[in-house]
């Protein structure tokens, strides 16, 4: 298969990795509004964000094994839907406890997709373009910034999170483009894929 035909799947994997990490970035970007509305401290919001990334890290070993047994499109779809649900539910919270619980669940979804997306990108993108493909995930910081700039002031942080939740579903619709990716039988250590 030509390198050009790999790109739709590679872009889809990158978009999914972007969508699944977005809850953490979005809550951080919207923190001042969340703090004021829920009457919680900056420390509390920071700890809730830490819960998201902590769940990603601690859940990654198990998530990696689960993802290795699923077809790539299934993994990408499940992770996108979970990310969307995380932000949709976070937009409804009325307490810090609920925010913590929701971000913990979202962190596990982020842990599910990162190994699968990284492996797919490494195997399917041309070696000279791997940095570009992996760098697309950096768009995760762009979307929350745009939401703060254009949505929070007129509509509020809850509306901003709901829009982010809708955007997170885009990779789920594109997931079939990632067919034929690495499977459990083809899985190899990520370091080997990147030539380390």
Closest CA to 116 of 63, 195, 53, 165: 63
Predicted pLDDT of residue 163? 96
Collapse the DSSP code of 128 into the 3-class scheme (helix H, G, I; strand E, B; otherwise coil) and give the result: helix
What is d(CA 13, CA 120) in angstroms, rounded to the nearest whole number? 7
What is d(CA 188, CA 1) in angstroms, rounded to the nearest whole number? 20
Give tens-digit pLDDT for 46-83.
999 999 999 999 888 887 788 778 888 998 999 999 99
Q: Would you give the DSSP letter of residue 150?
A: I
Which parts of the chain register pLDDT below 50?
1-2, 181-196
Helix-, strand-, coil-residue percentages of the chain, each rounded to 5:
85, 0, 15
Non-local (6+) Cβ contacts of 2 within 8 A are none
Handedness of CA 11, 14, 20, 25 (dihedral sign): negative
- Model's pTM, two decimal places? 0.83
The CATH number given to 7-126+140-173 is 1.20.1250.20
């Amino acid at each position: 298969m030509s390198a050009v035909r790999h790109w739709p799947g590679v872009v889809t994997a990158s978009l999914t990795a972007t969508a699944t990490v977005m809850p953490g970035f979005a809550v951080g970007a919207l923190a001042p509004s969340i703090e004021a509305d829920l009457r919680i401290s900056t420390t509390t919001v920071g700890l809730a964000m830490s819960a998201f990334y902590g769940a990603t890290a601690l859940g990654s070993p198990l998530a990696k094994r689960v993802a290795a047994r699923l077809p790539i499109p299934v993994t990408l779809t499940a992770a996108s839907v979970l990310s969307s649900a995380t932000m949709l539910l976070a937009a409804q919270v009325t307490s810090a406890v609920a925010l913590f619980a929701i971000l913990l669940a979202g962190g596990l979804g982020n842990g599910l997709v990162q190994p699968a997306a990284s492996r797919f990108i490494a195997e399917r993108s041309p070696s000279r373009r791997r940095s570009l493909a992996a760098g697309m995930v950096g768009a995760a910081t762009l979307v929350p910034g745009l939401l703060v700039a254009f949505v929070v002031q007129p509509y509020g942080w809850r509306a901003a999170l709901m829009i982010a939740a809708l955007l997170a579903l885009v990779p789920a619709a594109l997931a079939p483009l990632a067919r034929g990716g690495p499977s459990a039988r083809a899985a190899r250590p990520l370091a080997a894929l990147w030539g380390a």
